[in-house]
């Protein structure tokens, strides 16, 4: 049985990285939303234009990527449009393109620096594991434990693992 009191954190976890397609779609969605605003900086507009231009040049003639992007720009918060873009990019193989991924990461960095990325996150989890997004978020994979608080004693997880506390046994 566990007895714990909030104030100290003990974390047992594995890192969960965003997969390439989520980075690309997330960057295009955030870029479309940010670049469409009058207050967007020129750096955001340029970074979005660079990523969008590359994606359309590389994949637009083979798939409906260009059309999906145009629809997304009109309503960047529409879930169906995000999913359509994801499907088109997956069919085009965009996640395997290192330059597209590089520009998507660059756009996300520019948005972060400009404070324009807001709290938009997009990701997928396949198989065992967890995803945590946002400021201060933590994730643990299968069988992992994250405990926030001053832990006294031991914690027994559902699988029978015993996690030692940070303080004295009580």
Sign, Cα dihedral of 24, 42, 46, 76: positive
- The reply to whether 38 falls in a domain is yes
- The reply to whether 95 falls in a domain is yes
pLDDT digits (tens, 9 = 90+) for 101-153: 999 999 999 988 877 544 445 566 666 666 665 555 666 666 666 666 555 66
- The reply to whether 123 falls in a domain is no
Residues 56 and 77 in one domain: yes
3-state secondary structure of 11: strand
Three-state SS letters, 117-168: CCCCCCCCCCCCCCCCCCCCCCCCCCCCEEEEEEEEEEEECCCCCEEECCCC
Residues 110 and 148 in one domain: no
The more confidently predicted of residues 25 and 156 is 25
- The reply to whether 119 falls in a domain is no
Q: Can you tell me the mean pLDDT for 72-91?
A: 93
Residues 80 and 37 in one domain: yes
Residues 41 and 110 in one domain: yes
Residues 51 and 97 in one domain: yes
List the beta bridge partners of residue 103: none
Residues 100 and 51 in one domain: yes
Residues 30 and 45 in one domain: yes
What are the C-alpha distances in Å from 27 to residues 1, 38, 100, 106? 45, 19, 10, 9
- The reply to whether 122 falls in a domain is no
Residues 24 and 38 in one domain: yes
Element (H, E) at 146: strand 145-156
- The reply to whether 138 falls in a domain is yes
- The reply to whether 170 falls in a domain is no
Number of domains in the chain: 2
Query: Distance between alpha carbon 137 and the CA centroid of its chain, in Å?
Result: 11
DSSP state of 96: G
**Dmax of the chain from CA atoms?**
67
**How far apart are alpha carbons 7 and 130 in whole angstroms?**
24
138, 13 contact by CB (below 8 A): yes
Residues 25 and 94 in one domain: yes
Residues 141 and 83 in one domain: no
pLDDT range class, residue 2, cuts 50, 70, 90 = very low
How much is the pLDDT for 34? 83
161, 23 contact by CB (below 8 A): no
What are the C-alpha distances in Å from 101 to residues 28, 93, 94? 11, 11, 8
Residues 42 and 8 in one domain: no
- pTM, whole model, 2 decimals? 0.58
- The reply to whether 151 falls in a domain is yes
Q: Give the domain extent around 10.
A: 2-15+128-164
């Amino acid at each position: 049985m566990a007895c714990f009191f909030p104030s100290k954190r003990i974390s047992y976890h594995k890192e969960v990285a965003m997969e390439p397609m989520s980075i690309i779609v997330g960057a295009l969605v955030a870029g479309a939303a940010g670049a469409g605003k009058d207050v967007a900086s020129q750096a955001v507009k340029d970074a979005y234009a660079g990523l969008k231009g590359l994606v359309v040049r590389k994949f637009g003639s083979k798939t409906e990527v260009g059309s999906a992007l145009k629809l997304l720009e009109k309503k960047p918060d529409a879930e169906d449009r995000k999913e359509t873009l994801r499907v088109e990019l997956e069919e085009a193989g965009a996640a395997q393109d290192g330059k597209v991924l590089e520009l998507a990461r660059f756009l996300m960095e520019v948005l972060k620096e400009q404070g324009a990325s807001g709290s938009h996150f997009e990701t997928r989890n396949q198989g065992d594991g967890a995803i945590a997004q946002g400021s201060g978020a933590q994730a643990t994979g299968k069988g992992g434990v994250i405990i926030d608080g001053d832990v006294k004693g031991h914690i027994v997880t559902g699988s029978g693992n015993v996690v030692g506390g940070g303080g004295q046994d009580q």
